[in-house]
Structure 1
Amino acid sequence: MMEYLSQVVISVHPKLYVKNPETSELGRKIIQQSILLIDEIGFEAFTFKKLGERIGSNESSLYRYFENKHKLLLYLTSWYWGWMEYRLVFETNNITDAQARLLKAVELVTEKIQDDTSTVHINEAVLNNIVIVEFTKTILTKEVDQENSEGFFMVYKKVVNRLVQMITEAKPDYPFAKSLASSIIEGALHQHFLKDHLTTITDCNELQSPSAFYKNLVEQILK
């Protein structure tokens, strides 16, 4: 799968950038270092000025790629969900049993991510940290309805809908497939956050992962 992924360009909505960062060395450097910097200092403290200083480039050059840091965060999270969709497609494609396919999909969307070395300028493990901490900031905004109407969350919704389809195939009479799918994906991010920061209000820890919790939940529903 990873050999195939290395030949695939993850599609991101063109309105999220001014100039496609994948088309130049500077653009790829912006993506690479913005991921590392946001992970280090958090999105609130992150600025284009700080990023420019880090990569040795004028702040104005960053605005040639992204209108603002909100659009940059939308780009990064959209890329992540596009990468996740490819993982879902290729790692479940040959599983014929519907329940086994669903459980594999649940594992993929809830596990702690390891870096995919086929994408040299993007560290998916670090990007996963950003998605865990910052993803809700792309949605919980006053502009969410407008941005949704423009298709900014299309890739994320495709991941959810792939999981919905697998739930329906595994248990056709289950009436809450969409709610379950979105709860698994967003809930896993929350459980990873609790595991790392608010340990007294989750059963997830180094021995008991969010993946184990959600696979157990789905298995109970499938009975």
Structure 2
Amino acid sequence: MLLIKVVLIVMEFQLKFKVNEHLYLKDPENSEIGKAIVKNSIELIHEMGFENFTFRKLALKIGSTEATIYRYFSSKHKLLTYILNWYWSYLEFISKFRLSEINEPKDKIEKLLNIITHHEDYENNIEDYDLRKLHDIVISESSKSYLVKDVDEINKEMVFSPLKSLCNFIGEIIIQAKPDFPYPKSFASTLLETSHNQHFFSEHLPRLTDNDVERKGHKKYVLDYLRFITFTLIK
């Protein structure tokens, strides 16, 4: 189960997510060095990409040793999945929070599309994690968490539960808007993956998209595209 601690002060909130214990050897949230490992891994993966990211480079950045990092995470794949799990948990929380005062299902879907494309920027930093950099990592690196040979074995440890939970929530909103829609979870996961792929293509391989970059930014293009396919199916 996802454990969330929320402290609301005016319009600011602090979030604590309990990430699947199979992803770490020692909970990084329980120490300053653990938090530094997660925070700086986000910085480095964003800067150099997951392929070039190593525990040696991370150790140099935080002024520690590789052995210390290995006491928290057994591999960089588990560290990436840990970061992504935190992000999926955050995205589900913020979606429920923002949709809680919206009654019309199609208005909820509109808000969801804005959230998953980050077209509306909310808080830039939560728990010292840079959300904009996290979003960039999700766009370019998230598929590397599950497009691996041993995904079935990894899945048995339920480490993808936050992503599944987010898709299930989006699917529930789709059903509210169109009760007879036959593929709510499939469409929910398609929306998430499409938002990442089209943003990446728009930014790096624009001829794989229909975006006029001079007229639209990447986020605006992806949002418009998701709106088109969503509301064409859900009338």
* TM-score normalised over the length of structure 2: 0.89
Q: Which runs of 5+ in 2 are unaligned?
A: 1-5
Of 171, 175, 178, the residue aligned with 1:164 is: 171
Cα deviation, 1:166-201, whole Å, max 9, x if unaligned, reads 111100111122221111001100011011100112
Q: Which runs of 5+ in 1 are unaligned?
A: none
Mapped contact 1:107–1:215 kept (Cα < 8 A)? no
Q: Which has the higher helix share?
A: 1
Mapped contact 2:26–2:72 kept (Cα < 8 A)? yes
Equivalence map 1:11-160=2 (5 Å): 11-112=18-119, 114=121, 116-117=123-124, 119-160=126-167
Cα deviation, 1:124-159, whole Å, max 9, x if unaligned, reads 100111111111111111111111121010000000
Mapped contact 1:115–1:125 kept (Cα < 8 A)? no
4+ long deviations beyond 2 Å? 1-8, 110-118, 203-209
Distance 1:118 1:40, change over 3 A: closer
1:221 equivalent in structure 2: 233
Q: 1: CA distance between counterparts of 2:120 and 2:137?
A: 11
2:3 equivalent in structure 1: none
C-alpha root-mean-square deviation of aligned residues, in Å?
1.9
Question: Percent identity among equivalent residues?
Answer: 36
Q: 2: CA distance between counterparts of 1:20 and 1:112?
A: 32
* C-alpha displacement of 1:58: 1.1
Cα deviation, 1:81-111, whole Å, max 9, x if unaligned, reads 0110111110001111111112211221123
Q: 2: CA distance between counterparts of 1:19 and 1:114?
A: 32
Amino acid at match of 1:125: R
SS at match of 1:157: helix
Amino acid at match of 2:229: L
Mapped contact 1:30–1:62 kept (Cα < 8 A)? yes
SS at match of 1:134: helix
Q: Which has the higher strand share?
A: 2
Distance 1:130 1:106, change over 3 A: same
Mapped contact 1:2–1:118 kept (Cα < 8 A)? no
Larger relative contact order (Cα-Cα within 8 Å, sequence gap ≥ 6) = 1
Mapped contact 2:28–2:38 kept (Cα < 8 A)? yes
Between the two proteins, the alignment pairs up a number of residues equal to 223
